[in-house]
Amino acid sequence: MHSRSIAIANRHPRLRFDRRAVARAIALLDAHANRFRGGCPPGELSLVFLTDPALARLHADFMGDPSTTDVITFEGDPAAALAGEICVSADTAAAFAKKHRHDFSRELTLYLVHGWLHLAGYDDLVPVKKRAMRRAEARALELLSRHDCLVRLTLTKPSR
């Protein structure tokens, strides 16, 4: 296993979490990279927690689609020792969790896992590849759960 530098940016005004817990979750995935096609490439990993409007702007700027989305993953540059960047929407996670009666923390952790798996080479655009990604997501969440590394994240109430 390689140890990596993890840059964590919380750009969501109401999101609260322990940065060390996020780093532990990524370190556990990295430690079990052999179960996930070798895992995320070595190098610094950037994780950014955003609002729906902020992620929609990235979606528009880089993919030509101004709609909201859950996760955007940018591949890094191995020559610059950058593994990549995973941008996730806490708002989308909260809305999906509420609508489907899921746990918000688990849903947002899934988005981080999803981005990490993209960097590991998984794809979800073709049905057969999407099924492989879903199986990998389930294995990763089970691994995090078994090692008590599911990240606890909360959204504070909006101020009035």
- 3 state DSSP class of 64: coil
With respect to residue 160, please indicate whether it lies within any of the assigned structural domains.
no
pLDDT for the residue numbered 60: 96
Asked if the structure places residue 159 within a domain, the reply is no
pLDDT the model gives residue 157: 87
- Whole-number Å distance between alpha carbons of 82 and 72: 16
Whether the predicted pLDDT of 159 surpasses 80: no
What is the domain extent for residue 46? Answer: 6-149
Q: What does the chain come to in residues?
A: 160
Specify if 154 maps to a domain: no
Domain count for the chain: 1
Say what the pLDDT of residue 1 is. 46
CA–CA distances in Å: residue 121 to residues 9, 24, 115, 130: 24, 21, 10, 12
> Is it the case that residue 2 has pLDDT exceeding 70?
no
Given CA atoms 158, 150, 24, 31 in this order, what sign does their dihedral have?
Answer: negative
Cβ–Cβ < 8 Å for 78, 41: yes
